[in-house]
Amino acid sequence: MEDNIETIVNCSNVSVFYGDNKAINNITISIDKKSITAFIGPSGCGKSTFLRTINRMNDTIDGCRMEGTILVDGQNIYDPSIDVVPLRAKIGMVFQKPNPFPKTIYENVAYGPRIHGLASSKSELDDIVEKALKGAGLWNEAKDRLNESGTGLSGGQQQRLCIARTIAVEPQIILMDEPCSALDPIATSKIEELMADLANNYTIIIVTHSMQQAARVSEKTAYFHLGNLIEYGNTKEIFVRPKDPQTEAYISGKIG
Amino acid sequence: MTQEHIHTAFDEDLDQLDKLIATMGNLALSQFIAVIDGLADESVELESLIVNDTKIDELETEIYNKTVEIIAIRSPQANDLRRIITAPKIASFLERIGDYSKNIIKRRSMMIVEDSELTILKKLDGISEIARELLVDVLDSLSRLDARKSKMVWEGDIELDAQHSIVYKKIYKRMVEKGSSAAEINALFIAKNIERIGDYCTSIAEQVYFIVNGEMLDEKRPKLDNIP
Amino acid sequence: MARTRTEEIVISGLNLRQKKERNYKYLGMFAIAISMAFLLVLLISIASKGIPGFFQYYATLEIELNKERLDPRGDLSDQSLFEGEAKQIINEAILQFTQANTRNEKKAARKLLSNGSDTRLSEYIKNNKDKLNTKQLVRFVLDDDADSYFRGFIKKDTPEKQRRLNDIQIEYLDKMKNEGLISYGVSDYLFFGSASRNAEMAGIKGAAIGSALTLFVCFIIAFPIGVATAVYLEEFAPKNKFTELIEININNLAAVPSVVFGILGLAIFIKLFGMPRSIPLVGGLVLALMTLPTIIISSRAAIKAVPPSIRDGALGVGASKMQTTMHHVVPLAIPGMLTGTIIGMAQALGETAPLLMIGMVAFIVDIPGGVTDPGTVLPVQIFMWADFAERMFVQKTSAAIIVLLIFLMLMNGGAVWLRRKLERRW
């Protein structure tokens, strides 16, 4: 049934240390291609840290060290010969608090393609911007305001702008670190619906502290606790009949 | 009907559930109609219909699982919640209706084996017709979530009870006067099954009313006090 | 409603609390009032001394603009006017007016107008060549002693020997006054004149231009280096003991007395590199050294203030560290950097000691044309004028101080305005 689904990210025995403190403990997991995978778990369980190892954002943190292998599309992304810059174009990230650049809406989306040289003319760049804004469900609201500042949009719109910015560089994978936690329920629903759409073209990994959100949007869910991967499986299975009693305890609200 | 959800997948889930229930209802209905149409006619072969009952039972399990899944994944609220929470109950009532149809067929087969006259079953035409109408109406009220119609069904059961009572007394009188035979006893059982089907229609009607209005039909269920 | 225990306690203490708060408020208002009073006294004393320095007394005389005498070569060139008899013509005019006869009287009369009157007349002719060969009323500046008389600094009742004007001169001046030839107007020498031993001719033009050139050099050197240093230290430098040491040293340098930078400049730029003294280039270099720590510190603060979410956003899209810093962090930090720079510049504008050390005290009449011409700066000019005895220098010094203060206020006000205007909401 689901054995034919390709995996795009393969993590083996991944551990992450902040100085001497082991934050992530020996995790092995494979993420399916073009589907939505959710990472859930209580605060401080390491799900965000683990997410950030996938696009090497942890490199920017002093004292952060990683062990193990992570293969993306068959390539070891921690190999010394890998340049982190194109890697981050291939694996985009959307953050918890919407962080559009203090520039125009057009510039926000065009920045990535411009620095990677994805457009050879202004009209090509215009096309890329339009396509990205459409893909993020923001085109209708933004097309007459392209020269206005990105920070003038509402929270939900700003987050969609950040999504547009991410998909403008045509990534394969989009990492989302609690993208809706700063948004109201309607904006959240709109983004969840958008994610369903995006999953047709991109692999999405979302870290969320809302179990209901993980249940709604993902095909597979991974439950983390204190830096360990406790259970990983189909979302429906996890939420209806989880195998591990720790998972069950968390999902039914028996632990915090 | 109702507004669409922002999450289209939620609407898809609810549609799936509705379809399962509608399928189950149609199966139960067609089963019952086939049974009562051929009830008194010996030439009609009804035993092959028994196997359909398995399908009805399978649907109940499917509906049950789908309900659990939707509750776990969607955390439904308000109107959605009532639609979903009543689904397994309605499925169970439909399953019972299917069972009773099956029992009627079995009883009739027994009568044929014992060489009884099926003509006595003609007496049951009246209540069969009322029961059929109740079932058609309640399934219609379910598919359109029509609370007014469901209340009509709920009130209409009293008529079925009354007619059943009359038929019962007639057959009973004949047994007393002419001596009982297997035919009469089986006819009484079949009559009771039909009456029970009517009761389940009422139960389904109560669920429909609950979905729409959020509360149970409060008044005492109309029932004849005299026990036949 | 019955009161809780907390309410009881609070209410009973309320009076005392309110009294304390009121007292505190009055104390604050009192302190502010005193500081305002001091400020007012300061401003009034500066203004009362300085504002008269913006004005000067003029005398209007009728002059016969004889072309052949004034412009012998006939081409109105500077050489021709120099060879001309402007001075004699003016003297003739004043002698005629005063009816001076004796040698003493003539000597007295000739001293009434400013020494630069001939230049003034030449300027007048150049600008009004159509009026040559006519008699015109020309306005001249009075000699600073005559000017002081009208201001009331030289009094008639002082014995003649102790006065700078003798009785004859005073008599002539009174006569000019009575005939309405004396007028009081804005001093054009103050702004457009240069250093001069003649108090009435002294102006700040040269010093102002010298200040401008020096500050320009300072900015050109200090701003790029300061900003680049700050960016490097904040964004790229590894965090180790060595960079910590650098940071401590920069902070200390900001507190070093400015004279020390002057000595440094003297030793290195002038003695070691052999650069000439008293040129804006060297002055600018010294001031740059002095201002660098201020710029670096404020730029670092501006860079630190850029939120990490902006950096994350850029990195997440695949920008390199350099691109993130140059395209996002620095543009957002520029307002803060500029503000710090302007404040540093304003500080440099008012510096005297280090520039004295490198010798920008030369008496320079010519206005510097470029950074390698000798020049001086405004604070130094003020410092030099303060030495001279003439009363008019006192007023001009105060006037120059007012000009300097206005510039400082404009620069600092500009910094505040800039900061407010460019403040972004992330």
Chains B and A make contact, 3+ CB pairs within 8 Å: yes
Which pLDDT score, from 0 to 100, does residue C100 have?
79
Are C343 and C412 in contact by the 8 Å Cβ rule? The answer is yes
Predicted complex ipTM: 0.89
Nearest Cβ partner for B73 among A186, A190, A236:
A236
For A32-59, the pLDDT digits (tens) are 999 999 999 998 888 999 999 999 999 8
Kindly determine whether residue A95 and residue C424, on different chains, have CB atoms separated by under 8 Å.
no
pLDDT tier, C414 (very low <50, low <70, confident <90, very high otherwise): confident
Highest mean pLDDT among A248-252, C45-49, C288-292: C288-292
Q: Is A228 on the interface with C (CB under 8 A)?
A: no
> Is the pLDDT confidence value at B225 over 60?
no
Which runs of consecutive H residues, i.e. helices, occur in chain B?
8-37, 52-74, 78-113, 125-144, 147-178, 182-213
Tell me, yes or no, if A162 comes closer than 8 A to chain C by beta carbon.
yes
Name residues whose C-beta falls within 8 Å of residue B144's C-beta, 6 or more positions apart in sequence: none
Q: Is A34 left (phi over 0), alpha (psi -120 to 50) or beta?
A: left
Query: Could you tell me whether strands A173-177 and A91-94 are parallel, antiparallel, or unpaired per DSSP bridges?
Result: parallel
Least confident of A66-70, A92-96, B66-70, C376-380: C376-380
pLDDT of res. A28: 95
What's the average model confidence in pLDDT over C394-421? 84
Q: Where is average pLDDT lowest: A101-115, A197-211, C48-62?
A: C48-62
Which chains does chain C touch, 3 or more C-beta pairs < 8 A?
A
β-strand partners of C138: C61
What percent of chain C lies above the pLDDT cut of 70?
97
pLDDT of A117 strictly over 70 = yes
pLDDT number for residue C29? 96
**Is A97 close to C317, i.e. CB distance below 8 A?**
no
Determine how many CB atoms are found less than 10 A away from the CB of residue C244: 10
C188-201 pLDDT, tens per residue? 777 777 667 677 77
Nearest CA in chain B to A195: B7
Interstrand relation of A36-40 and A220-225 (parallel, antiparallel or unpaired): parallel
Check if the beta carbon of residue B137 is closer than 8 Å to that of residue B149: yes
A238 → chain B, closest CA residue: B72
Measure Cα distances from B181 to A79, B57, B177, B216 in Å.
91, 34, 12, 43
Nearest residue, CB atoms, A169 vs list C315, C317, C323 = C317
Confidence of residue A1 (pLDDT cuts 50, 70, 90): very low
Q: What is the 3-state secondary structure (H, E, C) of C25-67?
A: HHHHHHHHHHHHHHHHHHHHHHHHHHHHHHEEEEEEEEEECCH
A85 touches chain C (CB under 8 A): yes
Which of A62, A36, A176 is closest to B9 using CA atoms?
A: A36
Beta bridge partners of C80: none
Min CA distance, B62 vs chain A (Å)?
15
Q: Which residue of B has its CA nearest to A187?
A: B6
Phi, psi at A79, each rounded to 5°: -60, 135
**Cβ–Cβ under 8 Å, residues A116 and A89:** yes
Mean pLDDT value across chain C: 85
Question: Do residues B77 and B24 lie in contact, with contact meaning Cβ atoms separated by under 8 Å?
Answer: no
Nearest to B73 among A192, A193, A216 (CB): A216
Q: What tokens were used for A148?
A: 């206005």
* For A97, nearest residue in chain C (alpha carbons): C309
The nearest CA of chain A is from the CA of B8 a distance in Å of 7
Q: What's the pLDDT band for C301 if we cut at 50, 70, 90?
A: very high
Integer CA distances (angstroms), C299 to A28, C224, C249, C294, in order: 45, 11, 16, 8
The arithmetic mean of pLDDT across residues C261-269, rounded, is 90
**Cβ contact, residue pair A89, C316, below 8 Å:** no
Q: For chain B, what is the mean pLDDT?
A: 89
Residue C101 burial (10 A CB sphere; 0-12, 13-18, 19+): exposed
Residues of chain A contacting residue C234, judged by C-beta atoms under 8 Å apart: none
Question: Can you give the three-state secondary structure of C123-156, one letter per residue?
Answer: HHHHHCHHHCCCEEEEEEEECHHHHHHHHCCCCC
CB A34 within 8 A of CB A199: yes
pLDDT at C158 over 90: no
Burial class, A203, CB count within 10 angstroms (exposed 0-12 / middle 13-18 / buried 19+): buried
For chain C, the distance separating the N- and C-terminal CA atoms, rounded to the nearest angstrom, is 48
| C186 sits in which H/E element | strand C182-186
CB contact under 8 A, A85 and C320: yes
How many other CB atoms sit within 10 Å of the CB of residue C399?
25
- The pTM assigned to this predicted structure is 0.76
- In one-letter notation, the amino acid at residue B52 is N
Whether B2 shows a pLDDT value over 60: the answer reads no
Residue whose C-alpha is closest to residue C262's, from C368, C404, C349, C359 = C359
Q: Of B7, B69, B75, which is closest to A192 when you measure between CB atoms?
A: B7
Is C95 a residue whose pLDDT tops 90?
no
CB within 8 Å: B72 and A239: yes
Under 8 Å CB pairs connecting chains A and B tally to 31
* pLDDT, tens digit, 9 for 90 and up, residues C206-255: 888 888 888 889 999 999 999 999 999 998 888 889 999 999 999 999 88
CB C65 within 8 A of CB C125: yes
Do A192 and B75 make contact, defined as CB atoms within 8 angstroms? no
A 10 A CB-CB count for B20 gives 20
Number of Cβ within 10 Å of residue A193's Cβ equals: 19
Beta carbons of A102 and C310 less than 8 Å apart: yes
**Angle at the Cα of C139 (from C180 to C52), degrees rounded to 5?**
80
Beta-carbon separation of B74 and A190 below 8 A = no
Residue B225: φ, ψ to 5°: -75, -35
| Res C131: pLDDT | 79
Angstroms from B82 CA to nearest CA on chain A = 19
How high is the pLDDT of residue B1?
Answer: 45
pLDDT at B166: 93
pLDDT tens sequence across B25-42: 999 999 999 999 988 888
Residue C376 has pLDDT above 90, yes or no: no
The pLDDT, as a whole number, for residue A202 is 94
CB C302 within 8 A of CB C232: no
Q: What pLDDT score was predicted for residue A101?
A: 93
State how far the Cα of A119 lies from the Cα of A110, in Å rounded to an integer. 9
Answer yes or no: are the C-beta atoms of B28 and A213 closer than 8 Å: no
Q: Residue A250: name the closest of A209, A218, A216 by CA.
A: A209
Reduced to 3 states (helix: H, G, I; strand: E, B; else coil), residue A69 is strand
pLDDT the model gives residue A162: 95
Local structure of residue A27 (DSSP, 8 states): E
Residue B220: pLDDT over 50: yes
DSSP state of B4: P
Closest Cα to residue C31, out of C42, C39, C20? C39
Q: How far is B6 from chain A (nearest CA, A)?
A: 6
Which residues of C fall within a CB distance of 8 Å from A86?
318
DSSP B189-209: HHHHHHHHHHHHHHHHHHHHH
Tell me which residues of chain C have a C-beta less than 8 Å from any C-beta of chain A.
Answer: 239, 309-320, 323, 327-328, 332, 424-426
Residues of chain A contacting C236 with CB distance shorter than 8 Å? none
User: Nearest CB to A88: which of C316, C328, C332?
Assistant: C316
Q: How far is CA A253 from CA A177, A225, C291, C301, in A?
A: 22, 14, 61, 45
pLDDT at B159 > cutoff 50:
yes
B222: confidence class by pLDDT, cuts 50, 70, 90: low
Closest residue by Cα to residue C303 from C226, C412, C415, C411: C226
Q: Which residues of chain A neighbour C315 with C-beta distances below 8 Å?
A: 57, 60, 88
Q: In the numeric block, which tokens belong to residue A86?
A: 């194109």
CB contact under 8 A, C313 and A85: no
- Give the number of residues written for chain C: 426
Residues 198-217 in A contacting C (C-alpha not used; CB under 8 Å): none
Using the beta-carbon criterion (under 8 Å), do A189 and B7 form an inter-chain contact? yes
CA distance B98 to chain A (A): 29
Q: Which residues on A lie below 8 Å from B8 (Cβ)? A: 193, 196
Q: C426 pLDDT band (50/70/90 cuts)? A: very low
- Quick one: pLDDT at residue B203? 95
* CA distance linking residue C20 with residue C404, whole number of Å: 44
Task: Please name which of A67, A78, A248, A95 lies closest in space to residue A176, comparing C-alpha atoms.
Answer: A95
Tell me which chain B residues have a C-beta less than 8 angstroms from the C-beta of A190.
6
Residues forming beta bridges with residue B203, ordered by sequence position: none
Q: Which residues pair with C184 in a beta bridge?
A: C57
Three-class SS state of C383: helix
- The answer to whether residues A206 and A195 touch, using CB atoms and an 8 Å cutoff, is yes
Retrieve residue B121's tokens.
Answer: 């079953």
A169 and A135 Cβ atoms separated by less than 8 Å: no
Cα(A30)–Cα(C163) distance, integer angstroms: 104
Place of tokens 């105060």: C398
Question: pLDDT tens-digit profile of A209-227?
Answer: 998 999 999 999 999 999 9
Q: Tell me the chain A residues in contact with residue B72 when contact means C-beta distances shorter than 8 Å.
A: 215, 236, 239-240
- Check whether C424 has a pLDDT greater than 70: no
Q: How far apart are CA A97 and CA A207, in angstroms?
A: 13
Report residue C79's pLDDT band, with 50, 70 and 90 as the boundaries. Answer: confident
Of the candidates A250, A191, A253, the one whose C-alpha atom is nearest the C-alpha of residue A217 is: A191
**What's the one-letter identity of residue A104?**
T
Residue of chain C with shortest Cα separation from A161: C313
Q: Is residue A203 within 8 Å of residue A32, measured between CB atoms?
A: yes
Give bridge partners of residue C56 from the DSSP assignment.
C185
The B-side interface with A (CB below 8 A) comprises 6-10, 68-69, 72-75
Element (H, E) at A229: strand A228-234
Confidence class of residue A158 from pLDDT cuts 50, 70 and 90?
A: very high
Lookup: tokens for A7 = 């995996």
How many angstroms separate the CA atoms of B1 and B4, rounded? 9
What's the confidence (pLDDT) of residue A4?
Answer: 62
Nearest Cα residue to C316 out of B177, A183, A85: A85
Residue C74 CA to residue B74 CA, distance in Å, equals 103
Q: What is the pLDDT of residue A3?
A: 53
Query: How many secondary structure helices (H) and strands (E) does chain C include?
Result: 19, 3
Closest approach of A115 to chain B, Cα-based (Å): 36
- Our answer on whether B and C touch (3+ beta-carbon pairs < 8 Å) is no
Contact A240 B72 (CB under 8 A): yes
Enter the DSSP assignment of C275. P
Reduce the DSSP state of residue C226 to 3 states and report it. Answer: helix
Nearest to C375 by CA among C212, C221, C265: C212
Distance between the two ends of chain B, CA-based, in angstroms? 43
Task: Verify whether the Cβ–Cβ distance C317 to A165 is below 8 Å.
Answer: yes
Contact between B6 and A190 using a beta-carbon 8 Å cutoff: yes
